[in-house]
C-alpha cells in the first residue's frame, strides 16, 4: 500500500514535471546555418581540445602602418556573434584595432553537442583557445598579437575576468561590462525577497525542469531545455520585467533572429550558472581592468560589480545611473561607454 502510494506520487510528480517544463526546440543543424565562409572566417580548436569553433577577424578600418593590437570580444549568456556585436566591432575597428569575435562551443557557427550548452568553465576555456588562435594567426593577419585586450559583456564580462587570471602575457588589459560577478543563486535569493510569488513560481518550474531532465537523461537519453529568456514567473534563465525585449533587441537589433538561434539552453546550463561566482577568484586578477556597471541592473546587480572593484588590484569602475542591464547597447549610453572603453584600451594597448 505504502509503495503504491509512493510510486503513484512519483509518477504524478514526473507527469506534472513533463507538463510544465519547457519543450525541446528544433535546432537547425549548425552545419546548415554557417555564414558563407570568407577570408575573415577562422576555424580553430576550442577549449576542450576537440570541438571546432568559428571566429571572425575584423581588421581596423584605417592603418598607420604599424601592426594593430587585437581586441577579443566575449559575448553574454546564450548570445552569438554577428549583428549584436557589430557596434562594438566597428567602434574598435575605427579606433585602429583588429577585433576578433567567436561563438562558444555549441552556439552559433561553432560545433558542439548538445546545442546551447551554457557552461562557464568551458566558455572560459574557449576564450583561452581564441587567445591561442590569435597568437598563432597574428603574423599572417598582420596584427600585433603581443598586445591583446579582452572585452566581455554580461556573462562574458565574468568570463574575461576569469580568463585574466594567470593569463598569457599577450593579454594587457580587460574590459568587463555589466558583468556576471556573483552566482545566479544569489540573484534568485534577492528576487525571492523582492518578488516572492513570481520568483516562487519560477523556482517550481525550474525544479520541474530539473526532474524532467533527470528522467529524460537517464531513461530516454534525451536532452531537455529551459528558455533562455522569458516572462517573470516562467522557467527562463533570465526573467526580470523587460528582459525579453532587451535581450532580443541585442540579439538581432530590428529584426528576426538568424543563424539557427533558439530561445533555449540545456537544463544543465541552469545548474552551471546557479553556482558560477567569479567574485570568489577576483583577487587573483593582476591586469588593469575597466568595470562598467549600471545602477538599476537586476540581472547583474551593481553592488557585486562594486565588490569586484574592491577585490581587483588595478580596477576602475564606472557606474551609469538610472539604467538597466540592457540599456547600454544603443543610443547615448553606448556612445559614452564606447568612448571610455577606447580611452582605456588606448592607454594600455599602445
Ligand X SMILES: *[C@@H]1O[C@H](CO)[C@@H](O)[C@H](O)[C@H]1NC(C)=O
User: How many residues make contact with ligand X (CB under 6 A)?
Assistant: 5
DSSP states along 49-106:
SSSEEEEEEE--SS--SSPPPEEEEE--TT--SSGGGHHHHHHHHHTT-EEEEE--TT
Taking the least distance from each CB to ligand X, the nearer of 296 and 339 is: 296
73 HSE (CA, 13 A, CB side): 29
Instruction: Give yes or no for residue 295 binding ligand X (CB under 6 A).
Output: yes
Alpha-carbon distances of 217 from 29, 65, 221, rounded to whole Å: 21, 56, 4
The reply to whether omega before 114 is within 30° of 0 (cis) is yes
Here the cell at position 113 is 553537442
User: By the 8 A CB rule, do 47 and 126 touch?
Assistant: yes
> Of the two residues 4 and 322, which places its CB atom closer to ligand X in the complex?
322
Q: Is 48 in the site for ligand X (CB under 6 A)?
A: yes
Least distance from C-beta 347 to ligand X, angstroms?
Answer: 30
Enumerate residues 299-338 that contact ligand X by CB under 6 A: 322
Which residue, 177 or 240, has its beta carbon nearer to ligand X? 240
Of residues 125 and 264, the one with the C-beta less far from ligand X: 125
Q: Is 166 in the site for ligand X (CB under 6 A)?
A: no
259 close to 82: Cβ distance less than 8 angstroms = yes
Looking at 296, 314, 339, 346, which residue binds ligand X (CB under 6 A)?
296
CB of 178 to ligand X, least distance (A): 14
Q: Please report whether residue 7 would count as binding ligand X according to CB under 6 A.
A: no
In the bound state with ligand X, the residue whose beta carbon lies nearer, of 91 and 163, is 163
Please report whether residue 194 would count as binding ligand X according to CB under 6 A.
no
Q: Residue 81 corresponds to which cell in the numbers above?
A: 556573434
Where along the sequence are the contacts to ligand X (CB under 6 A)? 48-49, 295-296, 322
Amino acid at each position: 500500500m505504502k509503495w503504491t502510494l509512493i510510486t503513484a506520487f512519483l509518477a504524478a510528480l514526473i507527469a506534472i514535471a513533463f507538463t510544465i517544463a519547457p519543450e525541446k526546440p528544433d535546432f537547425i543543424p549548425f552545419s546548415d546555418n554557417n555564414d558563407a565562409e570568407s577570408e575573415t572566417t577562422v576555424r580553430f580548436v576550442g577549449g576542450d581540445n576537440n570541438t571546432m569553433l568559428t571566429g571572425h577577424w575584423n581588421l581596423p578600418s584605417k592603418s598607420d602602418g604599424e601592426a594593430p593590437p587585437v581586441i577579443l570580444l566575449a559575448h553574454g549568456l546564450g548570445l552569438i556573434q554577428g549583428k549584436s556585436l557589430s557596434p562594438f566591432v566597428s567602434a574598435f575597428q575605427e579606433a585602429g584595432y583588429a577585433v576578433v569575435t567567436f561563438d562558444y562551443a555549441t552556439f552559433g557557427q561553432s560545433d558542439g553537442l548538445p546545442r546551447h550548452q551554457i557552461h562557464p568553465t568551458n566558455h572560459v576555456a574557449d576564450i583561452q583557445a581564441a587567445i591561442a588562435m590569435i597568437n598563432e594567426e597574428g603574423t599572417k593577419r598582420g596584427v600585433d598579437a603581443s598586445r591583446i585586450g579582452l572585452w566581455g559583456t554580461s556573462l562574458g564580462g565574468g568570463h574575461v575576468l576569469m580568463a585574466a587570471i594567470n593569463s598569457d602575457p599577450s593579454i594587457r588589459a580587460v574590459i568587463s561590462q555589466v558583468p556576471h560577478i556573483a552566482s545566479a543563486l544569489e540573484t534568485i535569493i534577492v528576487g525571492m525577497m523582492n518578488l516572492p510569488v513570481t520568483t516562487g513560481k519560477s523556482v517550481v518550474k525550474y525544479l520541474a525542469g530539473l526532474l524532467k531532465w533527470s528522467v529524460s537523461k537517464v531513461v530516454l537519453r534525451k536532452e531537455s531545455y529551459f528558455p533562455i529568456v522569458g516572462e517573470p514567473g516562467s522557467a527562463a534563465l533570465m526573467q526580470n520585467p523587460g528582459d525579453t525585449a532587451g535581450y532580443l533587441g541585442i540579439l538581432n537589433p530590428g529584426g528576426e533572429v538568424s543563424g539557427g538561434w533558439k530561445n533555449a539552453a540545456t537544463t544543465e546550463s541552469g545548474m552551471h550558472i546557479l553556482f558560477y561566482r567569479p567574485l570568489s577568484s577576483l583577487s587573483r586578477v593582476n591586469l588593469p581592468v575597466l568595470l562598467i556597471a549600471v545602477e538599476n541592473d537586476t540581472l547583474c546587480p551593481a553592488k557585486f560589480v562594486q565588490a569586484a572593484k574592491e577585490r581587483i588590484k588595478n580596477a576602475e569602475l564606472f557606474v551609469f545611473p538610472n539604467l538597466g542591464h540592457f540599456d547600454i547597447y544603443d543610443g547615448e549610453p553606448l556612445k559614452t561607454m564606447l568612448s571610455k572603453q577606447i580611452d582605456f584600451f588606448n592607454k594600455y594597448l599602445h
